[in-house]
Structure formats: C-alpha cells, structure tokens
C-alpha cells in the first residue's frame, strides 16, 4: 500500500488527504499550524465542507490518515509528496509564492541524504513556469547531488468546487497530470485508478495553464449569464427560461464549438447580432461591460495580425483565404478583407488565393459586395497556389482550406509563413494524413 504526504492542510489539502485515504492509500498530512494538525488527528476538519468531518473521522479511525508538523517525518515515511499550500494574490493579482518555495526547500532538505527515488507533485494553483522555477529550483538546490535524477516532479491541478468537493474529487471532468517522465506519470495514474475519469498526461506548463483558463472561463460564464439576466429584465423577458433553452443546445452553445485559438470572427451573423444586442441594451441603460468588450477584442486580433505582417518588412504578401471562414464565399465583415485593405493602404503588394471568392462564381449579395465595396481587391485574386507562391515573400494563412494546405506544402524555406489559424491547419492536415494511412 502506497504512502503519500500532503503538504498544506487547507481546503485542497484536507479534501485530497481524506479522499486519497478513502481510496486505500496511507496519507500523512503536513502543516505548520499546530491547531490544524491536532484537529485532523482527532478526525475533525479544519475547514467547512459537507461530509468531510465524517470522512476524516473514518479515515483516522481506520489508521490510514494522520497529520504532523514535521516535514522530515512525512518525507521519510512516504514516497510521494503533494504540495497543496496556498498561493494567494496580492492587491495587484501577483501570486505570493513564499509558502510554495518554503515547502520545496524543506522537502529538498529532507531528501538530501536520501538516495531513493521520490516524487513531488504540485497540486497548488500556479501560473505556467512556476513549478520549474519556484519548486524545482529550491528543491534541487537543497537536495544536493544527483537531485534531478532521483527526485521527479509533476503537476496535478485539482478541479474541486467548494460545497461539492468530495464528489468532485471522485468524479472530476478528467485527471490532469503534467509530467515529462513516463515513470512519474504511471505513478500518478496508479494513485487515481479508482477515479472514474479520463487520465490526461501533458507537459508541466500546459497543466499549470489549464487550471487558470478553466477558472477564467467559469468566471466569464457567470458574468455572461448575469449580463443576459440584466438585459432580459429590462426587455421583460424571463431570463431563466431564456438560459434554460440556451443550455439545451449542446452542439454550439454548451460545447467545444468555437473554443479553439485562431483568428477573429466575422460573417453576416456574429458581428451584426452582437452589435444589435448591445445597441438595445445601451438604449435601455443596461451596462454590459463583458459583452461591450467583444467587438474591441475581436478588432484587436485583426490589428495584431496586421502589425505582425508589416513587422516582417516584406513588400510582397500572399494571402490564402479572403472569406470570413473556409468553405464559404461570404465576405461580409470578413476580418481578412480588413487585413488586406490595411496592407494595401500601407503600400504593400498583395495577392490573394480563394477559389470560393472567384468573382465569376459569385451571385447575389456577395457579387454586389465585391463590385460595389471592394472592387480593387477583386483585381488581386490569383488562380493557383503556384501564382501566389511566385509572388510572395510572406504567406498569410487566413483559413484552414485545402488551398492553404497546398500553399504550405510547396512554400520555400525563405518564405515567411504567418498562420492566423494558429496551427489548426497543421493539425487538420496531420489528421487527414493519419486517416489516409489507416485506410
């Protein structure tokens, strides 16, 4: 039976200690606070959480959980240490990492004369780069010779909500472990074998980051729902019913749709409808700071793309994809049209490849839009990837189209590529290659 030590008997530490013990592990809780240690050894919780008192009492009574103030005692009698100390922010938001560094130093000192393999797992919420700098640095320095070869590091963020923490520990969305060492990953995998959730292994910095963007997104959802509630109230609409129906759409609304880094949005729907909702809210004197930030945020993505292209110093630019997204000819509110117009305005020579926007194939609103609004751009269209490549010093990938794949395939090493899909096209192409190989 494995023995683990848990440093920090606050919210995360106490819940983790109780749940790991309940999963059959021997657990040693560690804290500098004598009162917390005393309470836990009595089977009492130092925090308020439904069901935790009963579980702690049961685990202490079963002899699978105890607490100490001695780091040396905990490290000597365990094979794995989970760091669960607090990482509070100051008034500016900067994380205070003194407790994290102190615990890392103490664990390192306790392992200085210990030659066995030992695993240290950071469960505290920390920004990317923190583990390698503020944990590995102090720990390895104190542990001395050969520390890096015998002491392995991992990151294991928690996804527990106060009030439902015991259930969340046993039924998380996934178990996330950041580790570049296969043996360490397998150790963590074995600890969570009783947890019914996908086990995901990734890089340390990625695991650190996922925790932060998860919480940021949760905060975003709260503010979004509240702003919708405000405008619904002024419109005389039942906001609870609106959101009940909204959440039934698990294809687009509550789903993975749109949640990948790429370029700005455009088209005939999103820009128009966001602006219309904001117009209505403003005329009802409803403040919507979150939704107000959407259009400026989108515009900032477009300006950043323009700046990056201009910063290359190149004069001949090739653009792949003019419509607002691949597999459409819709140019209305297309961010790529804004990019092209800005580049032309700066005196750059631009050529464009987008078969769907070839003027001969356009009818109706899109044809009128080109003829009436951007006739100068229609003169810049290329009819092949070869023609675009021959012209261009810099290639701007604006869509994940088949044409973009052809351009990337034949691009010369000297041609700079600015991929506004942020690698999504590469992922898509690799997936297609795997599918063809499997067939």
Catalytic residues: 269
Q: Are 186 and 154 in contact (CB under 8 A)?
A: no
In the 3-class helix/strand/coil scheme, how is 290-334 assigned residue by residue? Answer: HHHCHHHHHHHHHHHHHHHHHCCCCCEEEEECCCCCCCCCCCCCC
Nearest to 213 by CA among 297, 135, 129, 125: 125
Q: Supply the DSSP symbol for 116.
A: S
Angle, nearest 10°, between helix axes 204-235 and 239-248? 140
Residue 111 half-sphere exposure toward CB, CA atoms < 13 A: 32
Sign of CA dihedral 343, 344, 347, 350: positive
Tokens of 181: 């060492």
Question: Strand 80-83 vs strand 26-30: parallel, antiparallel, or unpaired?
Answer: unpaired
**Cross-strand partners of 381:** 352
CA angle, 290 as apex, 289 and 291 as ends, to 5°? 95
Instruction: For residue 118, give the 3-state DSSP assignment.
Output: strand
Q: Supply the DSSP symbol for 122.
A: E
In whole angstroms, give the CA distance from residue 392 to residue 312.
12
Q: Are 207 and 125 in contact (CB under 8 A)?
A: no
């Amino acid at each position: 039976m494995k023995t683990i030590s848990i440093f920090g008997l606050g919210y995360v530490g106490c819940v983790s200690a109780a749940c790991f013990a309940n999963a059959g592990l021997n657990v040693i809780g560690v804290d500098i606070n004598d009162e917390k240690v005393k309470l836990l050894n009595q089977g009492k919780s130092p925090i308020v959480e439904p069901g935790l008192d009963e579980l702690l009492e049961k685990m202490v009574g079963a002899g699978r959980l105890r607490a100490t103030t001695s780091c040396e005692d905990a490290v000597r009698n365990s094979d794995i240490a989970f760091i669960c100390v607090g990482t509070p922010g100051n008034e500016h938001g900067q994380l205070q990492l003194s407790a994290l560094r102190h615990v890392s130093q103490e664990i390192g000192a306790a392992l200085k004369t210990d030659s066995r393999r030992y695993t240290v797992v950071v469960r505290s919420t920390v920004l990317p780069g923190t583990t390698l700098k503020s944990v590995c640095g102090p720990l390895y320095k104190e542990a001395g010779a050969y520390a890096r070869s015998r002491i392995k590091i991992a990151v294991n963020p928690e996804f527990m909500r106060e009030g439902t923490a015991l259930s969340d520990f046993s039924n998380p969305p996934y178990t996330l472990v950041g580790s570049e060492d296969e043996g360490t990953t397998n150790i963590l995998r074995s600890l969570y074998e009783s947890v019914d959730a996908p086990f995901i292994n990734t890089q340390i910095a990625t695991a650190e980051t996922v925790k932060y963007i998860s919480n940021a997104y949760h905060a975003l959802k709260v503010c979004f729902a509240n702003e919708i509630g405000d405008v619904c109230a002024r419109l005389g609409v039942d906001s609870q019913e609106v959101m009940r129906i909204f959440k039934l759409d698990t294809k687009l609304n509550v789903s993975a749709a749109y949640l990948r880094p790429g370029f700005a949005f455009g088209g005939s729907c999103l820009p128009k409808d966001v602006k219309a909702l904001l117009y209505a809210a403003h005329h009802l004197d409803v403040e919507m700071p979150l939704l107000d930030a959407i259009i400026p945020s989108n515009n900032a993505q477009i300006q950043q793309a323009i700046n990056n292209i201009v910063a290359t110093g190149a004069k001949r630019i090739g653009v792949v994809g003019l419509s607002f997204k691949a597999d459409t000819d819709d140019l209305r509110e297309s961010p790529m049209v804004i990019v092209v117009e800005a580049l032309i305005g700066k005196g750059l020579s631009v050529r464009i490849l987008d078969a769907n926007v070839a003027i001969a194939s356009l009818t109706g609103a899109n044809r009128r839009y080109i003829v009436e609004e951007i006739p100068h751009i229609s003169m810049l269209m290329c009819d092949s990837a070869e023609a675009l490549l021959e012209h261009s010093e810099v290639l701007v990938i604006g869509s994940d189209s088949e044409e973009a794949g052809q351009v990337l395939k034949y691009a010369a090493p000297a041609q700079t590529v600015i991929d506004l899909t942020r690698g999504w096209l590469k992922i898509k192409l690799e997936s297609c290659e795997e599918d063809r190989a499997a067939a």
